[in-house]
């Protein structure tokens, strides 16, 4: 009979061990750690299939991310129910990890003690924490079980058995811990008994059972070994489970992208034979690490406008499909070695990711904003698009017109580039080519220049600027599309041509400050042009107007009597964090009552036009703009304010489709302001 506790040790926290058992434990430990190590190494080597990428910069910021998002669980907590249960289990894990080291250490060598804890008091704190967290973790596990079995949120989907195994394992670990700890008290071997209230209750419970002599030590031994076996089993199981994230998530958060959210990864077009990502190993190691980090929580899917309107895309599925592919094909790839060229691994698009899936993405960023472990979905989608476009010229039929129009007329609509400034005729707007300089360059954008509806916004902007006595000018026919859509559709080549030409023009006039009403222009100019040496101060109309109001340069006269809501533009909001300025502007208009939509701010719902989707047919599922329009209609407002020409177009279209034009108007905030001054 095993009696690991027979040797009465009076160390503060003690589960006890003897030599023969130490040997068994040692063997088990070596086997388990070996198995874990082997599989971890296998995964690590698969990561190294990926291309190089520097994610070792700005270490301080990275450490801060760890504090906030790993230890602080900030993003996880954004969903209260799952957030709290995860917090219990996560912190339980931390506490128990420390305890586990000690248990195992002692199991092998009785004099073992965690170096930092020394002896005495701190061990009692740890014992206390473990005792309490065991209970909290059990609560977490029960909550999770209830969620899996009863609440069953759609986003969890699939892999139920994996989740079940894990919950059972965790539950088992806690129960065995408490069991062993309680019996330890009963056996008078726990000097920290006063620090472990839960165990004390259990001890009383065991005492009440009035067990036969010798049963208690046996039970204790059973709990202890069960705990150890569960623990080691867990270790072996982790690399095969979504629970791998307990290791990878922290790394993923540490190595997260510190680029501005709205900026796509830069891409060189020289000195390379292939462009974009066709095969799994053409991703960078960090993009592959993303695949390991996925916890399958499905928060991304829950926010994805494409998924929610019945498109074949789910960001979660995208990541898991790539993960599955990496795990199944990676080993063979490692053997063959990788090199550009065909026959080296399967093409991802068409085999792993459907084309319709890939093109469904609006790059709205809702998935990335929701992901607790900072997986970068958009870059992966765009990298695969880049490959299709740049290598194979494969893209939805409609897109070709856009590319050609951008090439020949620098706008997406096949309208002559020389009519770009026609909207401004008779408004007294200065042209930089005539005046040479102005305090602010008003970057009008293609929609504001060519689209009849959005030209009204441009004219309103001019009214506001003139009313605010702002010294501004436009580029007129020298302005070209910033290239936002081209880049997001995957045509990096065309994008870079437009960027170079625009930067040249802006530099020619020594432009310093750029104002724009278009969040896509804003994002590209502000976050992506610096990748090509174009550094300008970029402000969005809503920020600019909010400032004008603050300094009292805009005076409102008319009372509006308007119940209005604001639709967050993805590229203004999520990608650039501008939530307050538009709301400040709305509230400043006298007589305006502002109502928030259910999906707003970080959880704003895309209009459906981002990522080049503005130029593609939406043939699958429900139209995203209709989904959003319905949400707006349900808010019972008389106007929906927008701050993006694409959003305006999409919502107005949605309102027309719903034949709701009488009761609901879509207006750019600039128009609302212009009406009121």
Partner 1 sequence: MAGGVWVFAEHRDGSLRKVTLEAMSAGKGLAGLLGEELAAVLMGEGVAPLADTLAHHGAQKVFLAQDSSLAKYTTNAYATVLSQLVLQNQPSILLFGATAQGRDLAPRVAMRLEAPLASDCTALSLDEKGRLVATRPIYAGKVIATVLAEGSSQMATLRPNMVPISEPDSLRKAEVVKVSAGPSPEGIRTRILEVVQEVAGAVDLAEADIIVSGGRGIKGPENFAIIRELASVLRAAVGASRAAVDAGWIPHQHQVGQTGKVVSPKLYIACGISGAIQHLAGMRSSKCIVAINKDPEAPIFKVADYGIVGDFFQVVPLLTEEFKKLLVEG
Partner 2 sequence: MKIIVCLKQVPDTAATIKVKPDGSGVETEGITYVINPYDEFALEEALRIKERLGEGEVTVITLGPPKAKEALRTALAMGADKGVHLSDPAFEGGDSYATAKALARAIQGLPYDLILCGKQAVDDDAAQVGPAMAELLGLPQACVITKLEIDANRKKAVVHRQIEGASEIMEVSLPAVFTAQKGLNEPRYPSLKGIMGAKKKEIAEHNPSSLGLSPEEVGLAGSKVKILKLSPPPSRATGKILEGEPREQASQLVKLLREEAKII
Provide the 3-class DSSP secondary structure of residue 231.
Answer: helix
Helix (H) or strand (E) holding 333: helix 315-336
Q: 410: alpha, beta or left, given left = phi > 0 and alpha = psi -120 to 50?
A: left
User: How many whole angstroms separate alpha carbon 306 and alpha carbon 203?
Assistant: 55
SS (H, E, C) 34-78: HHHHHHHHHHHHHHCCCECCCCCCCHHHHHHHHHHHHHCCCCHHH
> Interface residues for partner 1 in 631-670 (CB under 8 A)?
649, 653, 656-657
User: How many whole angstroms separate alpha carbon 283 and alpha carbon 649?
Assistant: 35
By beta-carbon proximity to partner 2, the closer residue of 315 and 476 is 476
Q: Which of 405, 491, 502, 592 binds partner 1 (CB under 8 A)?
A: 405
Interaction of residue 391 with partner 2, rule CB under 8 A: yes
Interaction of residue 341 with partner 2, rule CB under 8 A: no
Side by side, which strands form the sheet with 665-668?
Answer: 592-595, 562-566, 639-642, 665-668
Interaction of residue 290 with partner 1, rule CB under 8 A: no
Place of tokens 């991310």: 65
By beta-carbon proximity to partner 1, the closer residue of 52 and 619 is 619
Q: At its nearest, how many Å lie between partner 1 and the CB of residue 615?
A: 7
Task: Identify what 392 binds: partner 2, partner 1, none; CB under 5 to 8 Å per kind.
Answer: partner 2
Q: Which stretch binds partner 2 (CB under 8 A): 187-195, 305-313, 400-408, 481-489?
A: 400-408
Q: Which stretch binds partner 1 (CB under 8 A): 67-75, 183-191, 413-421, 599-607?
A: 413-421
Q: Which of 69, 90, 281, 450 binds partner 1 (CB under 8 A)?
A: 450
Q: At its nearest, how many Å lie between partner 2 and the CB of residue 38?
A: 41
Instruction: Give yes or no for a contact between 309 and 627, defined as CB atoms under 8 angstroms apart.
Output: yes
Task: Identify what 656 binds: partner 1, partner 2, none; CB under 5 to 8 Å per kind.
Answer: partner 1
By beta-carbon proximity to partner 1, the closer residue of 255 and 450 is 450
Q: Which stretch binds partner 2 (CB under 8 A): 69-77, 104-112, 141-149, 392-400?
A: 392-400
By beta-carbon proximity to partner 2, the closer residue of 407 and 561 is 407
Q: At its nearest, how many Å lie between partner 1 and the CB of residue 451?
A: 4
DSSP string, 261-319: TTPPPP---SS-S--S-SSGGGSBHHHHHHHHH-----HHHHH-HHHHTT-S--HHHHH
Interaction of residue 646 with partner 2, rule CB under 8 A: no
Interface characters, 254-273, with partner 2 (x: CB under 8 A): ---------------x----
Interaction of residue 218 with partner 2, rule CB under 8 A: no
Q: Which of 617, 634, 636, 663 binds partner 1 (CB under 8 A)?
A: 617
Q: Which of 139, 415, 431, 470 binds partner 2 (CB under 8 A)?
A: 415
Interface characters, 17-56, with partner 1 (x: CB under 8 A): ----------------------------------------
User: How many whole angstroms separate alpha carbon 57 and alpha carbon 258?
Assistant: 9
Two tokens, residue 37: 């190590």
- How are beta strands 537-540 and 472-474 bridged, if at all? unpaired
Interaction of residue 615 with partner 2, rule CB under 8 A: no
Q: Which stretch binds partner 1 (CB under 8 A): 60-68, 175-183, 221-229, 610-618?
A: 610-618
Q: How far is CA 505 from CA 2, 75, 653, in A?
A: 83, 42, 34
Q: Which of 306, 461, 616, 666 binds partner 1 (CB under 8 A)?
A: 616
CA 643 to chain centre: 23
Interaction of residue 491 with partner 1, rule CB under 8 A: no
User: How many whole angstroms separate alpha carbon 6 and alpha carbon 605?
Assistant: 64
Q: Which stretch binds partner 2 (CB under 8 A): 335-343, 389-397, 430-438, 609-617?
A: 389-397
Instruction: Give yes or no for a contact between 277 and 322, defined as CB atoms under 8 angstroms apart.
Output: no
Helix (H) or strand (E) holding 595: strand 592-595
Q: Which stretch binds partner 2 (CB under 8 A): 64-72, 393-401, 640-648, 657-665?
A: 393-401
Q: Which of 248, 261, 409, 649 binds partner 2 (CB under 8 A)?
A: 409
Task: Identify what 154 binds: partner 2, partner 1, none; CB under 5 to 8 Å per kind.
Answer: none
Q: Which stretch binds partner 1 (CB under 8 A): 7-15, 100-108, 408-416, 464-472?
A: 408-416
Total of chain residues touching partner 2, rule CB under 8 A: 25
Task: Identify what 450 binds: partner 1, partner 2, none; CB under 5 to 8 Å per kind.
Answer: partner 1
User: How many whole angstroms separate alpha carbon 540 and alpha carbon 515?
Assistant: 6
The dihedral formed by the CA atoms of 232, 235, 241 and 245, expressed in degrees to the nearest 10: 140
Interaction of residue 307 with partner 2, rule CB under 8 A: no
User: How many whole angstroms separate alpha carbon 567 and alpha carbon 635?
Assistant: 12
Place of tokens 């509230």: 587
Q: Which of 451, 479, 543, 631 binds partner 1 (CB under 8 A)?
A: 451
Provide the 3-class DSSP secondary structure of residue 539.
Answer: strand
Q: Which of 45, 152, 336, 404 binds partner 2 (CB under 8 A)?
A: 404
Interaction of residue 617 with partner 2, rule CB under 8 A: no
Q: At its nearest, how many Å lie between partner 2 and the CB of residue 476?
A: 12
Total of chain residues touching partner 1, rule CB under 8 A: 22
Q: Could you tell me how many residues make up the chain?
A: 677
User: How many whole angstroms separate alpha carbon 116 and alpha carbon 101?
Assistant: 12
Q: Which stretch binds partner 1 (CB under 8 A): 49-57, 318-326, 334-342, 399-407?
A: 399-407
Q: Which stretch binds partner 2 (CB under 8 A): 90-98, 130-138, 387-395, 450-458?
A: 387-395
Interaction of residue 400 with partner 2, rule CB under 8 A: yes
Instruction: Give yes or no for a contact between 308 and 372, defined as CB atoms under 8 angstroms apart.
Output: no
SS (H, E, C) 97-166: HHHHHHHHHHHHCCCCCCCCCCCCHHHHHHHHHHHHHHHHHHHHHHHHHHHHHHHCCHHHCCCHHHHHHH
Interaction of residue 504 with partner 1, rule CB under 8 A: no
Interaction of residue 310 with partner 1, rule CB under 8 A: no
Place of tokens 């174009």: 534
Interaction of residue 275 with partner 2, rule CB under 8 A: yes
Instruction: Give yes or no for a contact between 192 and 156, defined as CB atoms under 8 angstroms apart.
Output: no
Instruction: Give yes or no for a contact between 489 and 395, defined as CB atoms under 8 angstroms apart.
Output: yes
Task: Identify what 127 binds: partner 2, partner 1, none; CB under 5 to 8 Å per kind.
Answer: none
Q: At its nearest, how many Å lie between partner 1 and the CB of residue 396?
A: 9
Provide the 3-class DSSP secondary structure of residue 618.
Answer: coil
Place of tokens 């409102």: 556
Q: Which of 415, 431, 620, 635 binds partner 1 (CB under 8 A)?
A: 415
List of residues contacting partner 1 (CB under 8 A): 398, 401-402, 405, 412-415, 447, 450-453, 615-617, 619, 623, 649, 653, 656-657
List of residues contacting partner 2 (CB under 8 A): 269, 274-275, 389-393, 395, 397, 400, 403-405, 407-409, 414-419, 492-493
């Amino acid at each position: 009979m095993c009696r690991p506790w027979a040797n009465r040790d009076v160390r503060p926290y003690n589960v006890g061990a003897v030599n023969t058992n130490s040997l068994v434990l040692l063997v088990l430990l070596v086997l388990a750690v070996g198995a874990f190590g082997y599989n971890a190494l296998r995964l690590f080597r698969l990561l190294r299939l990926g291309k190089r990428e520097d994610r070792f910069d700005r270490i301080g910021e990275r450490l801060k991310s760890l504090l906030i998002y790993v230890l602080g669980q900030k993003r996880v907590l954004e969903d209260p129910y799952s957030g709290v249960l995860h917090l219990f289990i996560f912190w339980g894990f931390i506490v128990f990890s420390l305890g586990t080291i000690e248990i195992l250490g002692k199991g092998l060598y009785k004099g073992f003690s965690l170096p930092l804890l020394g002896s005495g008091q701190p061990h009692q704190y740890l014992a206390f924490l473990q005792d309490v967290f065991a209970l909290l973790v059990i609560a977490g596990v029960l909550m999770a079980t209830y969620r899996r079995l009863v609440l069953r949120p759609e986003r969890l989907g699939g892999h139920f058995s994996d989740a079940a195994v894990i919950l059972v394992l965790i539950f088992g670990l806690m129960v065995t811990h408490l069991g062993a700890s309680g019996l330890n008290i009963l056996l008078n071997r726990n000097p920290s008994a006063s620090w472990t209230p839960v165990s004390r209750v259990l001890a009383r419970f065991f005492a009440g059972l009035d067990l036969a002599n010798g049963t208690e030590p046996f039970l204790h031994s059973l709990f202890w070994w069960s705990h150890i076996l569960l623990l080691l089993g867990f270790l072996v199981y982790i690399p095969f489970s979504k629970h791998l994230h307990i290791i990878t998530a922290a790394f993923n958060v540490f190595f997260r992208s510190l680029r501005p959210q709205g900026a796509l990864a830069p891409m060189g077009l020289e000195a390379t034979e292939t462009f974009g990502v066709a095969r799994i190993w053409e991703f960078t190691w960090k993009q592959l690490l993303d695949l390991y980090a996925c916890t399958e929580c499905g928060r991304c899917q829950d926010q994805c406008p494409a998924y929610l309107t019945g498109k074949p895309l789910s960001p979660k599925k995208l990541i898991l499909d790539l993960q599955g592919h990496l795990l199944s094909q990676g080993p063979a790839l490692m053997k063959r070695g990788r090199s550009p060229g065909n026959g080296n691994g399967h093409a991802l698009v068409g085999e792993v990711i459907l084309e319709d899936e890939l093109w469904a993405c609006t790059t709205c960023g809702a998935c990335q904003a929701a992901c607790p472990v900072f997986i970068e979905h958009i870059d992966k989608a765009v990298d695969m698009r880049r490959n299709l476009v740049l290598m194979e010229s494969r893209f939805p039929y409609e897109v070709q017109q856009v590319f050609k129009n951008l090439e020949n007329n620098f706008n997406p609509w096949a309208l002559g580039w020389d009519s770009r400034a026609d909207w401004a005729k008779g408004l007294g707007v200065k042209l930089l080519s005539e005046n040479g300089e102005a305090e602010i360059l008003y970057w009008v954008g293609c929609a504001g220049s060519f689209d009849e509806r959005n030209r009204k916004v441009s004219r309103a902007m001019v009214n506001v600027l003139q009313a605010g006595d702002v010294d501004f000018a436009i580029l007129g026919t020298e302005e070209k599309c910033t290239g936002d859509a081209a880049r997001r559709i995957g045509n990096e080549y065309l994008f870079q041509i437009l960027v170079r030409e625009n930067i040249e023009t802006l530099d020619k006039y020594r432009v310093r400050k750029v104002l724009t009403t278009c969040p896509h222009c804003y994002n590209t100019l502000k976050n992506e042009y610096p990748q090509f040496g174009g550094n300008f101060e970029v402000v969005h109309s809503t920020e600019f107007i909010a400032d004008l109001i603050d300094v009292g340069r805009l005076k409102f006269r008319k009372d509006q009597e308007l119940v209005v809501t604001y639709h967050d533009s993805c590229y203004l909001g999520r990608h650039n964090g501008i939530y307050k300025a538009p709301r400040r502007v709305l509230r400043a208009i006298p007589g305006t009552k502002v109502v928030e939509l259910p999906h707003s701010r970080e959880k704003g719902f895309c209009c459906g036009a981002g990522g080049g989707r503005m130029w593609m047919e939406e043939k699958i599922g429900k139209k995203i703009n209709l989904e959003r329009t319905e949400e707006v209609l349900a808010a019972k407002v008389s106007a929906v304010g927008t701050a993006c020409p694409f959003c305006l177009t999409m919502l107005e279209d949605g309102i027309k489709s719903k034949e709701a034009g009488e009761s609901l108007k879509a207006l750019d905030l600039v128009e609302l302001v212009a009406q009121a001054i």
